[in-house]
Amino acid sequence: MTSFDMAPERLKKLRDELARETIVEHQIMEQQGNPTDMFKCSECDSTNCAYTEVQKPENRSSEQGITVHVCCSNCGHTWKYT
Ligand SMILES: [Zn+2]
């Protein structure tokens, strides 16, 4: 038995939380994204994108605390630009 098998409930909860965060992230991008053609989607080569700047609290000590989340309005592909 591994340590993973010993705490399935905790792992399941963690996974659920991670999944929920991803969904919320996606919703924020769709609702509050700023339309831009500065980025090019790697999936469909469209420049019809929206971006959202997200401050990463865990990176507060560094100067690069902003991550730009980009969402392709054409195919829905999302990626991060740092
Ligand atoms: Zn795309």
Which domains occur in the chain, in start order? 3-81 (2.20.25.10)
pTM: 0.57
Q: Find residue 71's DSSP bridge partners.
A: 50, 78
Which of these, 80, 2, 16, lies nearest to 42 by C-alpha position? 80
For 72, which DSSP code?
A: E
| pLDDT tens-digit map of 34-59 | 999 999 999 999 999 999 888 776 65
The 10 Å CB-count burial string (b at 16+, else e) for 23-48 is eebeeebeeebeeeeebebeeeeeee
Q: Find residue 24's DSSP bridge partners.
A: none
1 contact partners, CB below 8 Å, separation of at least 6: none
- Report residue 7's pLDDT band, with 50, 70 and 90 as the boundaries: confident
Question: For residue 71, how far is its CA from the centre of ligand 1 (angstroms)?
Answer: 8
Question: For residue 40, how far is its CA from the centre of ligand 1 (angstroms)?
Answer: 8
